[in-house]
A and B are shown apart, each in its own frame.
Chain A
Amino acid sequence: MTELLEKFGINFFVLIAQAVNFLIVLAVLYRFAYKPILKMLNDRTKKIEQGLEHAKKAEHAMNEALSQKDAVLAEARKESGKLLAQAEEKSAAEHAKRMAESKTEAQAMIAKTKEELQREHEHMLESAKLELADMVVLATEKLLKEKVTSERDHTLVASILKDVSK
């Protein structure tokens, strides 16, 4: 055993020195490399995750806003269309009403005029009749040149009038 150790140059001092060496390296690396670097890697992973989440949220919000915008626009369009249709309808109704009103007015006017004309006509006819009757009386008086009894006179006038009205 000792011969084997000697052959391989096993030296207790060197052995311990190498082990201590390694432990020093371990301690220094732990303090100055592993701890800070692992911590930073961890922090960075967290930060990136956070950033990704934020980006996701922002995208979501943007999509929502976009869809909201579309909805609002559609609503506005619908509303304006409705308003326009209403206005059109209203104006059409007004127009129709006006038309109807003016028509009835015109008709009333026409009717009135017609009536007036009729009345005038009748009046004229009546007055003409009366005048004619007088003229007939005068004519007959003149024609007969004789005295006629009042009874006969009346019957004559009546018969003449009857003729005239026919």
Chain B
Amino acid sequence: MDISLAAEPILEIGHIEITNSLITSLLVTVLLLCFVFFLNKKGLKQVPRGVQNVVEIIFEGLFNLMKGVTGDEKRARRFFPLVATFFIVIILSNYFGLLPFVGSIGFHEVHEGKELFVPLFRSANSDLNTTLALALVSVISTHVLGVTALGFWKHTGKFVNFKLLLKSPIMFAVGILEIFGEISKVVSFSFRLFGNIFAGEVLLVVMGTLVAFVAPVPFYLLELFVGFIQALVFAMLTLVFLTMATEESHH
């Protein structure tokens, strides 16, 4: 048993490597888009039926939660697309990673003299590339929305403010520290999600090899819970950072 920390490349087109986690991610994306198109083709109805009910429950629940966090409906409406997409994409990726064929279908490959099992699919968030990409999108979008909400100088003034240099050097230094805070946001976002999901995958593999039947079931349930919680944490943290970025600084 050998679990690679990095996602394994499946295809190589020129210099470009297509990893198994990228394939999974694309598959999830395609399925999600298909679902959205299907929903749209059926048409939204004033009196909802079937699937539309479920979608509405999720949307309304998320929206009300966001209204509670941001404190005003206008900003909740503004941030909703980004935050909801984070939540939906992450939870779908996490749950897709729990499907039986993910991580079990693959092929053997001889790599540096060792025979390795390379799975065709790998849970998207158990690859640091995916989570890092999501974290970057999250943190960059907080800055973009911060700039559009407050203006460029006011937003950057939160980090580098030369007016404060003479008045209170300590506050200026705090502003500089905030820049490192932004970097650490990216790291914590990406490693939190990656760590949780990767650990879950490893846990399930280990439990599966120890006792093949029944025993992994509670751990699957645990992973369902973790997958939901991590998606919610990622979305809510993004929302909190967005809310903070679009507020005037108090010092």
A contacts, CB < 8 Å to B: 6-11, 13-19, 21-26, 28-30, 32-34, 36-38, 40-41, 43-44, 47
In whole angstroms, what is the CA distance A108 to B15 when docked?
146
Asked if B168 is an interface residue, CB under 8 A from chain A, the answer is: no
Q: Which B residues fall within an 8 A CB radius of A?
A: 4-7, 15-17, 19, 21-22, 25-26, 29, 32-33, 36-37, 39-40, 44, 46, 55-56, 59-60, 63, 77, 80-82, 84-85, 88-89, 124, 127-130, 132-134, 136-137
Q: Would you give the shortest CB distance from A69 to chain B, in whole angstroms?
A: 36
Most buried by A among B16, B21, B33, B85: B85
**In whole angstroms, what is the CA distance A7 to B37 when docked?**
39
Give Cα A47 to B59, complex, Å.
19
Q: Are A18 and B25 interface neighbours, CB within 8 A?
A: yes
Secondary structure of the A contact surface, majority rule: helix
- Bound together, the chains give a CA A19 to CA B136 distance in angstroms of 8
The CA of A65 and the CA of B81, in the complex, are separated in Å by 50
Known: A14-B22, A22-B133, A22-B137. A34 touches B81 (CB 8 A): yes
A-B CB contact pairs (8 Å), 25 listed: A9-B4, A9-B5, A9-B19, A10-B128, A14-B17, A14-B21, A14-B22, A14-B127, A18-B25, A18-B124, A22-B89, A22-B133, A22-B134, A24-B29, A25-B85, A26-B82, A28-B33, A32-B37, A33-B36, A34-B59, A36-B40, A36-B44, A38-B77, A38-B80, A44-B46
Question: Is A30 touching B129 in the complex (CB atoms < 8 A)?
Answer: no
- A11-B137 in contact given A18-B130, A34-B81 (Cβ < 8 Å): no
A25-B133 contact in complex given A9-B6, A36-B40, A44-B46, C-beta closer than 8 Å: no
What chain A residues lie within 8 Å of B17 (beta carbons)?
11, 13-14
Q: Is the CB of B5 within 8 A of A8?
A: yes
When C-beta atoms are compared, the residue in chain B nearest to A42 turns out to be: B77
Instruction: State A8–B33 Cα separation when bound (angstroms).
Output: 29
Q: Please name all residues of chain A whose beta carbon is closer than 8 Å to the beta carbon of B21 when the two chains form the complex.
A: 14
Residues of chain A with a CB closer than 8 A to B137's CB:
19, 22-23
**Complex contact B77–A10 (CB within 8 A):** no
Q: How far is the CA of A148 from the CA of B63 in the complex (A)?
A: 158
* Beta-carbon contact of A7 and B85 below 8 Å: no
B129's contact among A11, A32, A38, by CB below 8 Å, is which? A11
Q: Give the complex CA separation of A26 and B22 in angstroms.
A: 17
A34 touches B80 (CB 8 A): yes
Partner of A21, one of B25, B59, B84: B25
Q: Cβ of A28 and Cβ of B36 under 8 Å apart?
A: yes
In the complex the two chains form, is A7's CB within 8 Å of B7's CB? no
Shortest distance from the beta carbon of A2 to any chain B beta carbon, whole Å = 13
A13 touches B88 (CB 8 A): no
Contacts of B36 in A (CB 8 A): 28-29, 32-33
Do residues A29 and B55 form an inter-chain contact, with CB atoms below 8 A?
Answer: no
Nearest CB in chain B: distance from A92 CB, A:
70
